[in-house]
Amino acid sequence: MKYAKSLLAISAALILGTAHANNIEVVAQIDDTRPGNITVTQQGRTFLSMQPLDNPEYRVVELMSDGSTKPFPNVDWADGPDKGDVGFASVIGIESTPDGVVWILDMGSKNSPAQIVAWDTLNNRLFKRIEIDSDATVDNSFLQDFVIDTKRNKIYIADTSLGNLSGAPAPAFVVVDLGTGNSRRVLQANKALLAPEHDLIIDGSLMATKRENGNSDAIYLSLNPITMDAQNEWVYFGTVNGSVIYRLPASSLANDNLTDSQLSKTIEFYGEKRPSDGMIMADNGDIYVGDIEKNAISIVTKDGFKTFAQDDNLLSWADGFSIQNGYLYITQNSLHLNPALNQGEEGSVKPYHILRIKLNQ
């Protein structure tokens, strides 16, 4: 595909200084559809979901070493369920495990069920497909992102729901048992999962949606950033508009005998953050989280947070994160300038970027 340009051959020109002593390396430029999330496998391959709000031709792609992209795992899967025998409808969440399996969360559509598809990249074959139970979602579900609990063989999905964009906010966790294929919905509309009414002002403009009557309303997005520690002990989460990171024990979230009331009591405050989309925890416990109002990335620990990197262009809505081989990989997509979040107007200045920053660990 032609819309990605690699700059790897001129790496000396890629190191762009920031105001915060961390260098941002441009891995590739994307001139067409916004990238969504990113995963870099232990074997060194890079995969991207393509932002559903841009109606991408291919829902998931592999980023090649020359900067080109190709549909992943093949055209039939990547071009949607309306063509061929199989297909992803709408994808943001994408992760990988050390065995080279890439896990893809398809939000589904009116005519296509939500599903988890796992692809074995070492043997180029379908590893697992799980259809998410319809009673684990609601009418305005938006299955945004997820973490994999390899210790308990579960996946925990952050269902943002569509906030105040469509219907009443109903964020929840969807817990998927990878052994049985069963899924269940927990903690719906819990206070810790709901977005505060904090207006997002980015580059001087209000993030807002334009209604059919012509009015513009500020957007409040709930449960979204989610990550897990390397020991699979805690699930960390927050909201887009919010300034708090919470956590709860993975053992509690995995326990289908707990009521919502009991599960709610296991949620605890972890630390502060800025309004954010993506979030990831490194093996040493540092959490890297976007700062969408400041075009930055922060590091969060229990002792507080500080700015890790800032760049008004390269970090305009840092969305997805992946950590591999000592680097933090980032997708940048100016998502707040998509018409759905920008009062009906497309305000982005392309290209979008795939970035990486060396971690001092």
197-237 confidence digits (pLDDT tens): 999 999 999 999 998 888 899 999 999 999 999 999 999 99
Q: Which residue type sits at 305?
A: F
Separation of alpha carbons 218 and 164, rounded Å: 9
Distance CA(337)–CA(352), nearest Å, equals 12
* pLDDT at residue 211, rounded to an integer: 87
155, amino acid identity: I
Looking at the structure, give the CATH architecture of the domain made up of residues 4-358: 6 Propeller (2.120)
pLDDT below 70 — which residues of the chain? 1-21, 361
Contact 311, 16 (CB under 8 A): yes
Taken in order 257, 173, 142, 211, the sign of the CA dihedral is positive
Residue 302 exposure: Cα atoms within 13 Å on the Cβ side: 6
pLDDT tens-place string over residues 26-47: 999 999 999 999 999 999 999 9
CA dihedral 52→56→59→65, nearest 10 degrees, is -120
Listed by start position, the domains of the chain span 4-358
Long-range contacts of 163-166 (CB under 8 A, 24+ apart): 163/195, 163/219, 163/220, 163/221, 163/222, 164/217, 164/219, 164/220, 165/140, 165/209, 165/219, 165/340, 166/140
Beta bridge partners of 40: 46
Give the DSSP letter of residue 139. Answer: T
Cis peptide before 225 (omega within 30 of 0): no
State the burial class of residue 53 (Cβ atoms within 10 Å of its Cβ: 0-12, 13-18, 19+). Answer: middle
**pLDDT at residue 320, as a whole number:** 98
Locus of tokens 């760049």: 311
- Nearest CA to 59 out of 79, 40, 30 is that of 79
Q: What is the per-residue DSSP string for 341-355?
A: GBTT-----SPEEEE
pLDDT attached to residue 167: 78
What are the residues whose beta carbons fall under 8 Å from the beta carbon of 348, sequence distance 6 or more?
A: 34, 333, 334, 337, 338
pLDDT recorded at residue 21: 45
Cβ 178 vs Cβ 153: under 8 Å: yes
What's the CA gap between 93 and 5, in Å, rounded?
Answer: 23
Contact indicator for 188, 211 with CB cutoff of 8 Å: no
Q: Report d(CA 88, CA 7) in Å as an integer.
A: 30
Cα–Cα distance for residue pair 227/240, rounded to 1 Å? 14
